[in-house]
Each structure stands twice: as C-alpha cells, then as structure tokens.
C-alpha cells in the first residue's frame, strides 16, 4: 500500500534560490530532449551563462547548486574516470550529471503548467469516429500478434483520453472566474451565436455517435472480456524493463489498469447504475447554452435601460399607416430609423422570388407569427384534415423518370461500341452533356484505378490520349485533355 511521504524532488521549485535551480533543471531538460542525457558541469556553466542575469555566474556557485539538486535526488552524479589525467584530477572527482526519472516528469509538468493558457480543449467529433472504428475491429484483432493488439489498445485508449481531456478543458473555460466575467461583458453578445452554433453542432454529433459507439461496445464486450483483455495484459508484460524484481507488482498494476480503462470506456457511453458520462456532457453543454442566452438577454435589457418601447412602436406603425403614398413612407422611414440605425430582419418564409437584386417593396408582404419565448409554451393545434398529393407526386415521378431516360439516350448516342472518345464528338453539345462528362472524369480521377460508374449503371475506365481536344458546347468551346471512356460492355440507344 502506497504511503504519502514528502516528495523531496520538488524542493527546488520553492527553495530560496528557486530561479537558479529551475534554470539549471530546465537546461538539463532541454538537453535531455536532445538525447544528451549526461552533462559535465563545464557544459552546464557554458549553457547557463548564455541566459540574461547569469553572465557572472561562477563555477563555485554552480557546484553548490548541483550538490543541492543532487541531495534532493533531482540529479545523479557519476564519476567519469576517462577525464582523469593526474592525481589532482582524480581527487577533484570529475562528474557527469544526469536527471532522475522523477525530475524529468516534474520538469515536464512545469513546462505544461507554463503553457497551460495556450492549450485549449475542443469539441471535435473526429475522435468519436476513431473510437467507433477501433471498437469495430475488436473481434477481428483477437487472433492477431501481441504487438498489433498492443498498438490497437494504445490507439483506442489514447483517443478516449484525448476525447475526455479535450471536452473537460473546453467546458472548464466556461466555469472559470476569469471567463465568467467575459461571458457577462457586452462584447461577448456579438459572438454568442458562434458559441451557440458550435455547442449545438457538438451536441447533435455526440447524440448520433454515442448511439453507434454504445452499440459497438455491446457487440465487442464478449470478445474483449473473454480473451482480448488478457492478451492486452500479455502484450504489456512482453515489453522488457530493466527492473525485473518488480514484475509481480507490474503484473498486478497492469491488470488493474487495463480492466479499469475498459470499464471507464464503457461507463462513458453505457449507463450503469445512473447516467453515463456522455449524458452528463449533454446536460452540461445544454446548461452552458442556456447560460449564454440568459446572459445575453440580461445584457441587452441592461443596455436598453429596461425601458419598454412598445408604445413607441405602436405610434410609429400608425404613422406609417397614415402615410398617403410610398414616397412619404420612405421619408418617414429615413427619419425614424436613419442611416446609422439600419437593422436587417431575417425570417424563415417562402419568398415570391429568389433574386438577390429585387427590392423588398417589389415582393408580396410576408406574415410572420411571433411566439412567446418561454419553455412551457405549446402552440394551439387545430384539428383539420389533410390533402392527398399522391397524384402530384406520381406526375413529378414520371417527369423525373422521363428526364433520366432522355439524359441516358442523349449520352449513349456518343458511345461507339465500348468507347466514348471526346475528341470524336463534333456536335455542339448542351451544357448538361458537358457537366455529365466532366462529372464522370472527376469521379474516375479520384480513384487509383481511374474507374467509375455512371448514374445509369455503366462501369467504365478512363484513359487519356496525347494532347488536348476542343469540346463544342452551346455556351462556348471547352479545351480539355483528350479523354477516352472505355466501358465494360457495349451500349447503344
């Protein structure tokens, strides 16, 4: 059973000369990353004097600091007999210093803490797809070699760890004291729609992928728990380590870790006694969206000083109704709203035209019903019948099939036997034919075999002749490579 004893390796972080100790350990850490595991004190002194404030740093000071770090078990000193040339050198004990394992992890942690503000989480949904794919391979990888099983397991756990850490880091930003002030600022109101859209997209993707992963977990659970986890443990034990005396402890630790990771993955997507972690994430994200909307509404209300302008709007509407003609209404609109207060309103309705150049005054008026913004509001349902559109649907279906058949005959007339040679087309083709040919070429070029299938079910292979050709179209000539479509079977109209 582990006892919680003081960790002496962290003493240099809070010592009186912490700035010197930390700079020395950071030098050792940077050299450790460059695979320079052992350094002489002369090398450390040269690297140390390159930093501002350490130009006059002496060897005696460095020796005292190195002794303190060695006493705290951050550094390990090894005597190097190869540099001993005299008895005096031997008495001076030339040492090479290296970082201990604990010191490496502590220094790595300090680097991460220093850059914590630059590292932000995200709500990417790519990890859901990777986890779903890995779980689908569980049954097939059971009979694979231990190395492949180990790689599969580490990939799965790494993706799950990144997923868990990323969403925690991102959602944590909304609950920190610093960002809570930002959420209540007037500047945040302008960007609230971006956050709401981002969070809602994540919710929709999470709802879809969580169901798929849960089904994959249920399907993979028998094969994983009845043998695959034991092979994962064997693959971990197969990795040799210098300390062979702790093998029994490692075996117990690896067994508990592997089964614990598998149980954590199940608890994230499958509900056990209570709600799953996935459901908690959905609740937290929805709560954040509500929090953003409430803050924005309060800020807008405070910005308007809490005054109701209902009476003003009613008076303006009456003034517009009393205008004798449209010109007078334009003048009143310029006076009421002004060029500095132009507001654009967008509603979900069917326009009479799709033109972007048409004026609102040229279109028919649109009636839009405003509903109360309360949670328990339910619109009144009127009991009415329905009109059957079966005849219109059948007519549209027949028109669509006729158009497909017409396009098929139009394209097949250019196929001679098994070949469609673009350079041999001398007719002036329509824009639809040109788009169809370009679509077939693009579809074939995206595959390694340069093959594809037309919308009419024909399998073809794309070849290219030397040089270019000109395809005469109704809207102009198109210069393009001389492609040839080779079909598997003869086709004719």
Predicted confidence (pLDDT) per residue in 5-60, tens digit: 788 888 888 888 888 889 999 989 888 887 788 888 888 898 888 888 888 888 88
Rounded-to-integer distance, Cα 366 and Cα 352, Å? 10
- What pLDDT score does 14 carry? 86
**Confidence at 366, pLDDT banded by 50, 70, 90:** confident
Q: How is residue 362 written in tokens?
A: 């040229």
129 close to 216: Cβ distance less than 8 angstroms: no
Does position 236 have pLDDT exceeding 70, yes or no?
yes
In contact, 228 and 142? CB cutoff 8 Å: yes
End-to-end CA distance of the chain: 83
What DSSP line would sit under 363-425, residue for residue? S-----------TT--PPPP-------HHHHHHHHHHHHHHHHHHHHHHHTT-BTTEEEGGG-
Smallest CA-to-CA distance from 103 within 44, 54, 17, 32 is with 32
pTM over 0.85: no
Q: Which of 35-44, 233-242, 264-273, 334-343 has the highest mean pLDDT?
A: 35-44
Domain boundaries, the chain: 8-114, 120-290, 308-343, 395-487
Phi, psi of 140 (to 5 degrees): -75, -25
Residue 279 to residues 206, 268, 271: CA-CA distances in angstroms? 10, 9, 9
pLDDT 10s digits, 269-321: 887 766 777 887 778 777 777 777 776 666 666 555 545 667 778 888 899 89
| pLDDT value of position 1 | 39
Q: Checking phi first, is residue 77 left (phi over 0); if not, alpha (psi -120 to 50) or beta?
A: beta
Q: Measuring CA to CA, which residue among 17, 130, 32, 4 is closest to residue 64?
A: 17
pLDDT band per the 50, 70, 90 thresholds, residue 185: low
pLDDT of 175 > 70? The answer is: no
* Pair of tokens at residue 24: 């020395």
Is the pLDDT assigned to residue 448 strictly greater than 80? yes
Candidate CATH numbers 3.90.220.20, 1.10.10.10, 3.40.50.300, 2.60.40.10; the one for domain 8-114: 1.10.10.10
Which residue is it, tokens 């550094």? 75
Contact 62, 45 (CB under 8 A): yes
Q: Which of 425, 418, 426, 427 is nearest to 460 (CA)?
A: 418
The runs of H, that is alpha helices, within 413-468 are 431-445
CA 301 to chain centroid, in Å, comes to 35
pLDDT digits (tens, 9 = 90+) for 107-149: 888 887 776 544 444 566 677 888 888 888 887 888 888 888 8
Residue 71 has pLDDT above 80, yes or no: yes
Instruction: Give the Cα separation of 458 and 465 in Å (integer).
Output: 22
Cα Rg of the chain, angstroms: 36
């Amino acid at each position: 059973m582990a006892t919680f004893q003081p960790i002496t390796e962290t003493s240099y972080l809070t010592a009186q000369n912490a700035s010197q100790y930390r700079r020395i350990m950071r030098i050792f850490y940077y050299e450790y990353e460059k695979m320079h595991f052992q350094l002489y004190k002369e090398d450390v002194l040269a690297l140390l004097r390159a930093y501002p404030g350490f130009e006059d740093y002496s060897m005696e000071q460095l020796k005292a600091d190195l002794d303190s770090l060695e006493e705290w078990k951050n550094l390990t000193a090894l005597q190097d007999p190869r540099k001993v040339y005299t008895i005096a050198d031997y008495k001076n004990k030339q040492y090479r210093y290296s970082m201990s394992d604990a010191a490496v992890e502590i220094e790595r942690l300090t680097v991460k803490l220093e850059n914590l503000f630059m590292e932000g989480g995200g709500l990417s949904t790519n990890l859901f797809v990777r986890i779903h794919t890995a779980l689908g391979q569980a049954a097939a990888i059971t009979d694979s070699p231990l190395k492949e099983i180990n790689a599969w397991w580490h990939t799965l756990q790494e993706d799950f760890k990144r997923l868990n850490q990323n969403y925690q880091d991102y959602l944590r930003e909304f609950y920190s004291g610093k960002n809570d002030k930002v959420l209540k600022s007037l500047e945040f109101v302008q960007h609230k729609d971006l956050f709401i859209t981002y969070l809602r997209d994540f919710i929709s993707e999470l709802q879809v992928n969580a169901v798929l992963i849960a089904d994959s977990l249920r399907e993979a659970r028998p094969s994983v728990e009845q043998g695959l986890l034991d092979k994962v443990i064997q693959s971990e034990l197969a990795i040799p380590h210098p300390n062979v005396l702790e093998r029994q402890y490692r075996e117990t630790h690896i067994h508990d870790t592997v089964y614990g990771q598998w149980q954590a993955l199940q608890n994230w997507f499958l509900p056990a006694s209570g709600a799953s972690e996935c459901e908690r994430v959905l609740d937290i994200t929805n709560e954040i969206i509500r929090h953003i909307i409430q803050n924005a509404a309060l800020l807008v209300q405070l910005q308007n000083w809490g005054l109701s302008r209902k009476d003003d709007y009613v008076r303006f509407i009456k003034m517009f109704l009393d205008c004798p003609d449209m010109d007078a209404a334009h003048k009143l609109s310029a006076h009421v709203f002004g060029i500095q207060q132009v507001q654009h309103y967008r509603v979900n309705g069917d326009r009479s035209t799709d033109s972007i150049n048409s004026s609102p005054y040229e279109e028919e008026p649109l009636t839009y019903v405003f509903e109360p913004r309360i949670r328990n509001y339910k619109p009144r349902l009127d009991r009415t019948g329905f009109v059957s559109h079966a005849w219109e649907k059948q007519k549209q279906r027949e028109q669509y099939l006729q158009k497909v058949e017409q396009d098929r005959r139009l394209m097949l007339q250019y196929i001679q036997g098994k070949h469609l040679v673009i350079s041999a087309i001398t007719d002036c083709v329509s824009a639809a034919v040109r788009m169809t040919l370009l679509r077939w070429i693009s579809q074939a070029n995206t595959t390694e075999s340069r093959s594809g299938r037309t919308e009419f079910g024909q399998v073809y292979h794309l070849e290219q002749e030397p040089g270019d050709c000109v395809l005469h179209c109704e809207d102009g000539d198109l210069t393009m490579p001389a492609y040839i479509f080779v079909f598997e079977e003869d086709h004719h109209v």
